[in-house]
Amino acid sequence: QKEVEQNSGPLSVPEGAIASLNCTYSDRGSQSFFWYRQYSGKSPELIMSIYSNGDKEDGRFTAQLNKASQYVSLLIRDSQPSDSATYLCAVIEGSNYKLTFGKGTLLTVNP
Amino acid sequence: DGGITQSPKYLFRKEGQNVTLSCEQNLNHDAMYWYRQDPGQGLRLIYYSQIVNDFQKGDIAEGYSVSREKKESFPLTVTSAQKNPTAFYLCASSVRDTQYFGPGTRLTVL
């Protein structure tokens, strides 16, 4: 049974701080990793994908992947109240393109 | 205007009724997916289709049925056999391994 684990939170940070969201996965064969943001009552929207070990930056967002430790993280710099949402980690193993989701981490950014 | 549409946004069903949720995409994506989300839970895969006229069961297919007669459309029927259908239903489509979601349908059983 493939598992993706996230701390459910809530994670509370002040405005302007760095928010760090973490995710671990059980399947060593996992190839593709995704972060989605989900506002309350809305559908998930894709933030970033990452495939190789190391960091990938997109604006205020940085995804970090460590396949040896089976660990993927998302850093949000200069956090804004509009970043308050649930962040979902999702992982694909192999070529079947089936995503396994974590339960999500609720982030609250306080003004 | 490209995207994924789901209808209706809200749906109320009496126990024992079958209901069909619509999902349409004009992104020319080959693969489409149906997920269910319960409060405090991650998304769970119900069915997926990688090509027209073909689909596979996901992790929680019991009580659901789908069809894929057109590339653009992947409707989901929630049958009376689904014991606890109240949930948020999300449709997605993908290009290669990246999935994009529709706005969702919130189903409530009365």
Q: Report pLDDT digits (tens) over B50-62.
A: 999 999 999 999 9
**Is residue A95 predicted with pLDDT exceeding 80?**
no
| Contact of A108 with A40, CB cutoff 8 Å | no
Chain B residues inside the 8 Å CB shell of A39: none
Q: How far is CA B49 from the centre of its chain?
A: 11
Cβ of residue A43 closer than 8 Å to a chain B Cβ = yes
Chain A stretch 45-74, residues whose beta carbon is closer than 8 A to a beta carbon of chain B: 45-46, 49
> Residue B78 corresponds to which tokens in the numbers above?
């929630």
- Supply the pLDDT for residue A29: 86
Going by their DSSP bridges, the two strands B87-95 and B105-109 should be labelled as: antiparallel
Contacts of A76 (CB under 8 A, 6+ apart): A18, A19, A21, A60, A61, A83, A107
- Supply the pLDDT for residue A94: 65
Contacts of A41 (CB under 8 A, 6+ apart): none
Q: What mean pLDDT comes out for the span A67-88?
A: 97
Q: Which of B65, B78, B67, B76 is nearest to B108 (CA)?
A: B78
Q: What mean pLDDT comes out for the span B63-74?
A: 97
**Is residue B77 predicted with pLDDT exceeding 90?**
yes
Confidence of residue A74 (pLDDT cuts 50, 70, 90): very high
A32, A88, A103 ranked by CB distance to B97: nearest: A32
B88 or B83, which is more confident = B88
**Is residue A93 predicted with pLDDT exceeding 80?**
no
Cβ of residue A34 closer than 8 Å to a chain B Cβ = yes
pLDDT per position as a tens digit, A28-55: 888 899 999 999 999 999 999 999 999 9
**What is the least distance, in Å, from the CA of B91 to any CA of chain A?**
9
- β partners of residue A76: A19, A61
Of all residues in chain B, the one with the smallest CA distance to A102 is: B42
Hey, are the CB atoms on A104 and B102 less than 8 Å from each other? no
Hey, are the CB atoms on A98 and B102 less than 8 Å from each other? no
Q: What is the DSSP letter of B70?
A: B
Hey, are the CB atoms on A97 and B41 less than 8 Å from each other? no
**Is residue B2 predicted with pLDDT exceeding 70?**
no
Long-range contacts (CB closer than 8 Å, 24 or more residues apart) made by B25-31: B25/B72, B25/B93, B25/B102, B26/B2, B26/B72, B27/B2, B27/B3, B27/B93, B27/B95, B27/B100, B28/B71, B29/B93, B29/B94, B29/B95, B29/B100, B30/B71, B30/B94, B30/B95, B31/A97, B31/B93, B31/B94
First to last CA, chain B: 35
**H or E element that contains B87:** strand B87-95
**What is the least distance, in Å, from the CA of A12 to any CA of chain B?**
18
Chain A residues inside the 8 Å CB shell of B40: 8, 103
Chain A residues inside the 8 Å CB shell of B48: 98
Chain A residues inside the 8 Å CB shell of B104: 42-43
